[in-house]
Amino acid sequence: MTSSGIRIVVINGSARPNNYTSMASALVVDELKKEGARVEVVNPGELNLPLPGADPNSAVTRKLQEQVREATGVVLATPEYHGSISSVIKLVIENLGFPSVLNGKPIALLGVAAGSIGAIKSLEQLRSICAHVGGIVLPLPVSVANVQKVFDAQGHILDPNVDKLIRTVATNLMNYLHHAVCPGVTLERLMRQGIAVASADVHAQ
């Protein structure tokens, strides 16, 4: 599978206008596109997602599930609110069904926080939730501390070192997909094609 065959869904966990989560994830999206992946960005604040159990068969829920189901990998980005993940990212996860369409999906994590210790707590909780529903959570999540000092009002990043750090969310995910997922997909395709060819040869005899 080439990079052009890789489809990534990036989900932002903030609904606040001009939020720092989206500013940070935009760098991940940019890096993913540079590496040739097809990227879809989900901003839950634009979706009017139902509360858990309220309408599990809503059109918006089905569309979101289909996006994630068809993705090769997923990036989840969350701010840290009161020492936890945002209610927005949790609502997204609740709308991904049970069993969750995150099951078996490679997931890269990105967290931002206004505090000096970063989004450590929220990332640990998000990792636990994603693993619980069967996601393949990749190591090396990225935490951005003092995020309000990292970006300007227009969303431009002010620290080149943090820029590089955030972009590793993309490179780590793409490296995993190329080395762990794509060879398996290719081998499965070759085996299926080989079986099909062998079957055709048998029928031709």
Question: Domain range holding 127?
Answer: 3-204
Q: Residue 110 sits in a domain of what CATH number?
A: 3.40.50.360
Cα separations (Å) of 13 from 68, 171, 192? 15, 21, 39
What total number of domains does the chain contain?
A: 1
pTM: 0.86
Query: What are residue 10's DSSP bridge partners?
Result: 41, 75
E strand map for 13-151: 38-42, 73-79, 106-112, 136-137, 142-144
Q: What is the pLDDT along the chain (205 residues), one digit of tens a residue?
A: 566 689 999 999 999 999 999 999 999 999 999 999 999 999 999 998 999 888 878 999 999 999 999 999 999 999 999 999 999 999 999 999 999 999 999 999 999 999 999 999 999 999 999 999 999 999 999 999 999 999 998 999 999 999 999 999 999 999 999 988 655 544 445 445 554 444 444 444 5
How far is it, in rounded angstroms, from Cα 37 to Cα 108?
15
How far is it, in rounded angstroms, from Cα 122 to Cα 144?
12
